[in-house]
Chain A
Amino acid sequence: MRGYLVRRLLLAVLTLFGISVIVAGVMRTLPGDVVDVLAAEAFYNDTEKERLREELGLEDPFLVYFGKWLGDAVQGDFGKALRTQREVRADLVNRIDVTIELAVLGILIATLISVPLGIVAALRRSQWPDYLARSIAVFALAIPGFWLATLAIVFGAKWFRWSPPLGYQPIWEAPLTNLQQMWLPALLFGLILAGVQTRILRTALLDVLRQDYMLTARAKGLSRVMLLRRHALRNSLIPFITVIGVQFPVVLGGSVVFELIFALPGVGIYLLDGIANRDYIVVQAVNVWIAGAVILTNLIVDVSYGFLDPRIRVSS
């Protein structure tokens, strides 16, 4: 187990390093020069251009530039935003909680929906509850998140004279106001994520229900509830946890759209602002942060296998 953990950790660090090279490198591969692009839009004069080139390290050879960038990034310092001249780290820290909260609530709601649906579908295979659950899942899979959110806003206003409250409040300062803002985006997000989760849980359960040990457990007289709880669900956990890990990038990507539509000041909005301003520093930082979050989640998922399944703990 320890060897496995160490190997996973090393791989995660290696991957993050590779990602840093790519993210830092993209700016250098631009045809021409970032500063020219910026200057064309913001009417910099030549001395300002020089200062900017210096500040961005574009005069240095790539390795020197990358070394400096990585050295700062490791300490959490992603530099100053080009347009606002604010510390990227401070801005990012202020926004991370919004995105994380949306992601966690979304996955939580998706789990609350998909677990009963998946169980019912597997236990009543090829009967109407199964068809119903599968139809819901297939629908959820195909609905674009931004469309669902747009419909909620448009018809919420039309039919109920409701509009999402503005002025975001962090959950630890004003939990009620915060939840008033968050419940709808989180619910819609959860509905969409529930599609994949239901399908995976159903498949995993069907797989477990076929196993010989289920027959044994039944033969020794275990009740259906115990059978489900102690054997079936527990053994279906691994694919289920895996899919939550795999969904995490989807969640972070989808969060951009939900943040925009519901006016939540998260990392996604920060990225959109960065792109609109052609603020390369911000775009780089957000990308590294997101990739880091995804890698960390995958690492946690891998480690959790060991806790969920003793066989994995022993064999590795």
Chain B
Amino acid sequence: MASSTHASASVAEPRALDARRVGTALFRVVRRYPFPCLITLVLVLIGAGSGLADFIAPYDPNAINPTDRLQGPNSTYWMGTDALGRDVFTRVLYGGRASLGVSVTSVALGVMVATAVGLVSGALSGWFDVLVQRIVDMLMAFPGLIIVISLTAFFGTSVSLLVVVIAIALLGGGIRISRAAAIQVSSQPYIEAARTIGATTPRIIVRHILPNALPPIMVIATAYLGVAILIEASVSFLGYGIQPPAASWGFMLGAEARIHMIEQPWLSVWPGLAIFLTVFSFNIIGDALRDAFDPRLRGSG
């Protein structure tokens, strides 16, 4: 979404927002990148469905209805019902709210911290850089899922902890990317020019390095949204993430649900499909963003 609408918005911004102008620009972007735009639309639908679950969902997510348990998809229950007779479609919507909420927050947190640390580290070099690199080495030695579930053993399970821990799991890679971007930008002549006219280091980092290092960071942030969804889903699948009775995509595929899946296989389909579609969309948009920012790489991944 960001690539297309962003580009068009910034073209139109200097004048008053002329609806027709924006419309033409949007049309041009859609014609040029039809597939990423379609995927963006899918993601907007997923986001809207989850965000507006309170208004859209046909049932109460926790309403138990034993007589209607374990049904397949039908006109009353679009995705069928689970072992307690709860509506699966409703729970997929609410699960999306939990999954998207956790992953968006943790990516925002993780990428912000990683950007700050990475940029400073890349721009300053010296002892701080060495220290940061050693810490990154340590962070990168732990698989994300392992960090997250291990820490729940010590600190228990709560949504805010989950957000922080997933952010930590993303930190290593994020710092590495933003540091590399900062080093690359730092060697540009305009940084030297800024230094020559007496700009202070903090000013150079914030005003010159940050905006120019942003593209790769935005690409990695989009990719990380997918990674965070996968981590959250895996952790909830194992039972250490979002706690029942709250719905989450991972838990809906977990051990408790698995007992009933032979009887009602549709239970195993929907939440996984939701995870897949969301992660897939984030990855496609990440790729499109990368291509848009760096045309030389177009179609190279």
A interface vs B, CB < 8 Å?
11, 14-16, 18-19, 22, 26-27, 30, 125-126, 138-139, 141-147, 150-151, 153-155, 157-158, 199, 202-203, 206-207, 249-250, 252-254, 256-257, 260, 271-272, 274-275, 278, 280, 283, 286-287, 290-291, 294-295
Contact = CB atoms under 8 A, between A and B. Distances in A.
A254 B138 contact: no
B153 A291 contact: no
A242 to B, nearest CB: 13
Given A144-B230, A147-B276, A154-B262, A249 B149 contact: no
Say whether chain B's binding surface is mostly helix, strand, loop, or mixed.
helix
Contact of A295 (B141, B269, B276, B300): B141
A263 B274 CA distance: 26
Nearest to A198: B301
A86 to B, nearest CB: 18
Given A22-B138, A271-B150, 8 more contacts: A19-B142, A144-B230, A146-B234, A146-B250, A147-B272, A154-B268, A157-B262, A206-B300
Nearest to B136: A15
A150 B153 contact: no
A156 to B, nearest CB: 10
B94 interface: no
B262 to A, nearest CB: 5
B153 A283 contact: yes
Nearest to B277: A142
Contacts of B142: 19, 249, 287, 290-291, 294
A302 B98 CA distance: 40
A199 B253 CA distance: 29
Contacts of B154: 26-27, 30, 280, 283
A15 B137 contact: yes
Contacts of B268: 147, 150-151, 154
A247 to B, nearest CB: 10
B140 A249 contact: yes
Interface stretch (B42-50, B109-117, B279-287): B279-287
Interface residues of B, number: 45
A115 to B, nearest CB: 17
Interface string B231-267: 0011001101000000000100100001001100100
A19 B276 contact: no
Interface string B24-35: 000000000000
Nearest to A250: B143
B149 to A, nearest CB: 6
B300 A15 contact: no
Contact of A280 (B137, B146, B153, B284): B153
A287 B150 contact: yes
Contacts of B140: 249, 294
A157 B258 CA distance: 12
Given A144-B230, A144-B234, A253 B146 contact: yes
Nearest to A139: B280
Contacts of B135: 18
Contact of A144 (B138, B155, B258, B275): B275
Given A18-B138, A202-B301, A206-B300, A275 B280 contact: no
A304 to B, nearest CB: 18
B153 A146 contact: no
B135 to A, nearest CB: 8
A4 to B, nearest CB: 16
Nearest to A148: B272
B5 interface: no
Contacts of A257: 145, 234, 237-238
B237 A18 contact: no
Contacts of A253: 143-146
